[in-house]
Amino acid sequence: MIVLKTARELGIMKQACAISARALKLIGEAVEPGVSTAELDRVAEAYIRSEGAVPNFKDYNGFPATACISINDQVIHGIPNKKTIINQGDIVSVDLGAMFEGYNGDNAATYACGDISPEAQRLIDTTRESLYEGIKKACVGNRIGDISEAVQRYVEARGYSVVRDYVGHGVGTSLHEAPEVPNYGVSGRGIRLVAGMTLAIEPMVNIGKHNVKVMPDGWTVLTADGSLSAHFEHTVAITSSGTQIMTIA
């Protein structure tokens, strides 16, 4: 069931999303050679709790950390730990969120560690830009497929692949709500968008093929062909006056 939010509920969600966005920004600023993913996770958790919010990824279906931190060919759900050290030239995808007064924010971004290859930079840029192409279609009267097709078209026109095994989603009092928001699809298909819907739109883009595999830890998702992957996400609200990106630091 799709849950529509009132103006009051959107106001609370904006606070949750702002905390989520600032936590993500703090991790991005802390990405540098020699830092562990555990330390990045600590930075995010400390900030979220300092704002009176709760890290909504932590213990979600058993996930043990505040942030999913995925490096290079890791697509999503990388588990932070003290042994994983970020190196010069890595690209680091971070996905996290905060719950504030019962409502959730959810966002993601991919960061460069120092100087990265032109290929990696183009992947990051394309993934970020594809997110905004999708957001342009997230408006009253359009359909989910309009978002999906916009992302897929932008990515594939540049020679990359969108991950199909994992998708965006609704978000609200639950971190994952209906509807699903795939990053591939056909314009004009799917659920019609109406005011009050809140969606987490999140392209995951691979340099190689779209196929992925899950590590034995049960969480970390890798590209099947070992190619680089990037990930960007915003939580947005569909309103009668336009689309609002809520995860803004």
Range of the domain at 202: 7-245
Q: Total domain count for the chain?
A: 1
Alpha-carbon torsion 74, 112, 38, 44, what sign? negative
Rounded to two decimals, the pTM is: 0.98
Percentage of the chain lying above the pLDDT 90 cut: 99
* pLDDT (tens digit per residue) in 151-163: 999 999 999 999 9
Is residue 205 in a domain?
A: yes
Is residue 232 in a domain?
A: yes
Mean pLDDT of 121-150: 98
Is residue 1 in a domain?
A: no
- Asked whether the predicted pLDDT for residue 49 surpasses 90, the reply is yes
Is residue 130 in a domain?
A: yes
* pLDDT (tens digit per residue) in 167-215: 999 999 999 999 999 999 999 999 999 999 999 999 999 999 999 999 9
The per-residue pLDDT for 249 is 87
Read off the CATH number of the domain in which 106 is found. Answer: 3.90.230.10
Is residue 18 in a domain?
A: yes
Is residue 2 in a domain?
A: no
Helices (H), 114-238: 118-136, 144-156
Residue 88 token pair: 């010069």
Is residue 236 in a domain?
A: yes
232 contact partners, CB below 8 Å, separation of at least 6: 108, 109, 110, 127, 128, 130, 131, 202, 203
Is residue 195 in a domain?
A: yes
The per-residue pLDDT for 43 is 98
